[in-house]
Amino acid sequence: MKDGPAFMLTNTEIEKYDRQINIPEIGHCGQEKLKLAKVFISGAGGLGSPAALYLAAAGIGNIKIVDQDRVSLSNLNRQILHGEADVGRFKVDSAKDSMVRLNPEVNIETAPQTITTDNVSRLVSGYDIIIDGLDNFETRLILNKTAINLGIPFIHGAVNGFEGRATTVIPGRSTCLRCMHKEGCGPMAIKFPVIGVTPAVIGAILATEAIKFLLGIGDLLTNRLIVYDGLTLCWAEFKLKMNPKCDHCGHLQKKGVL
């Protein structure tokens, strides 16, 4: 049988995604939307690993993953895209191998690059959503600003130890990272302590938010910050407010884009 249009699911895909196609909120049409989707993942580390794997498994059609680092032994307690045999390789290369092994039908682009103010627009242009799997606040602010300028939703996550957090930024319509913090926190310890189960929880939330946004279902984490404590298994939810003076998204608020 001749293949149909690119968005149409093949028989193999219909079988592969059967369990999620059976979810009323997804269905056959939703699965086709996921196949057409383009997701940008910044970082192939603790947060990027579960997010990338679950998005690949869910049948996101196009994933770009960017990370300048090479795999080191101390990454492996949490960065489940990589194994011991990958030590020394670019993380994006082993990330691609892991995602392809899981789902060869996903189109994966990689870039072993540092995200900077000079290259960020080129890297993220054309993507439907940006996932924050970064390990520093300064680059998060670069992505936050670019996401707002280009109108691309930005899903933020961060972890430390047993604690994690997440919020979703819809440019001009919900609180952005800059609305929460006028200044970044400056350089922080590069070797932040963390156990893999924490980014596993938060990374899965980032992937969940991406899927919900792409399908237009559920309630996003907009204007909400959820904070997870693995030691008590308690969640706190804080209400966030857009800052009219925000130098990243305030201009959208003034223009009445809301």
Cβ–Cβ < 8 Å for 212, 220: yes
- Output b/e per residue, 102-134; b: 16+ Cβ within 10 A: ebeebebebbbeebeeeebeebbeebbbbbbbb
Residue 210 Cβ, how far from other proteins at the closest point, in Å?
16
Cβ–Cβ < 8 Å for 158, 164: yes
The smaller minimum CB distance to other proteins, of residues 20 and 253, is found at 253
CB atoms within 10 A of CB 178: 21
Phi, psi of 23 (to 5 degrees): -75, 125
* Site residues for other proteins per CB under 8 A: 43, 45-48, 132-137, 140, 157-160, 163-165, 175, 179-186, 188, 192, 194, 199, 225, 227, 229, 231, 236-241, 243, 245
The smaller minimum CB distance to other proteins, of residues 188 and 258, is found at 188
Residue 24 Cβ, how far from other proteins at the closest point, in Å?
32
Residues 6+ apart with CB under 8 A from 222: 167, 168, 169, 170, 173, 174, 175
Residue 3 Cβ, how far from other proteins at the closest point, in Å?
38
The smaller minimum CB distance to other proteins, of residues 92 and 179, is found at 179
The smaller minimum CB distance to other proteins, of residues 142 and 227, is found at 227
Residue 150 Cβ, how far from other proteins at the closest point, in Å?
22
Residue 157 Cβ, how far from other proteins at the closest point, in Å?
7
The smaller minimum CB distance to other proteins, of residues 47 and 211, is found at 47
Q: What separation in angstroms does the CA of 175 have from each of 154, 221, 224? A: 11, 10, 8
Residue 115 Cβ, how far from other proteins at the closest point, in Å?
12
The smaller minimum CB distance to other proteins, of residues 9 and 158, is found at 158
- For residues 234 and 217, give the distance between their C-alpha atoms in angstroms, rounded to a whole number: 25
For the CA atoms of 9, 12, 16, 21, the dihedral, rounded to the nearest 10 degrees, stands at: 30
